[in-house]
Amino acid sequence: MTGPLDFNQNKKYQKLILKETESQAYLDQLLAFMETEKPYRESNITIQELADSIGLPKHHLSQVINDRLGKNFYDFINQYRVAEAQLMLVDPKYRHLTNLAVAEEAGFNSKATFNAVFKKQTGQTPSEYVRNYTIQNV
């Protein structure tokens, strides 16, 4: 049986098979780095730059993101950006920022991309998210 997380079955990586323990270690290393260093805040970050920062070969990082998380690099990065923006949008210390400024702080380089990705991931525009959060927490 194969599925989206059956990381040894992806044809793209048939010649490069990471052991499960190695793959899990890389994933743990990646997720810890994302939380502590917040590289997604760099709007032009590439998979090569992220791999270099972590000290992993680019193809191993790509395989871990694709096969272990079931995402491509940009979807992976953008999930962190949206989560960061969600926190900022409802945090009183960032209320003075426009949605565009929040988007830029989170790592997006355009308002259109921010709005599209935010809506795709949350089902709401950034403005709707703030409005709904405010209504629920009054």
Q: What is the 3-state secondary structure (H, E, C) of 40-62?
A: HHCCCCCHHHHHHHHCCCHHHHH
Query: What single-letter DSSP state applies at residue 66?
Result: I
In contact, 17 and 8? CB cutoff 8 Å: yes
Q: In which residue ranges of the chain is pLDDT below 50? A: 1-8, 13-15
Cα 13 to Cα 7, 30, 46, 123: the distances in Å are: 8, 19, 20, 33
pLDDT of residue 41: 98
pLDDT of residue 16: 59
Largest alpha-carbon pair distance within the chain? 55
pLDDT of residue 7: 47
Which CATH class name applies to 77-136?
A: mainly alpha
pLDDT of residue 55: 97
pLDDT of residue 68: 96
Please state the domain extents for the chain: 18-70, 77-136
67 closest CA partner among 29, 16, 118, 114 = 16
pLDDT of residue 10: 52
What DSSP letter does each residue of 103-127 carry, written as one string?
A: HHHHT-S-HHHHHHHHHHHHSS-HH
pLDDT of residue 136: 87
pLDDT of residue 112: 98
50 Cα distance to chain centroid:
12
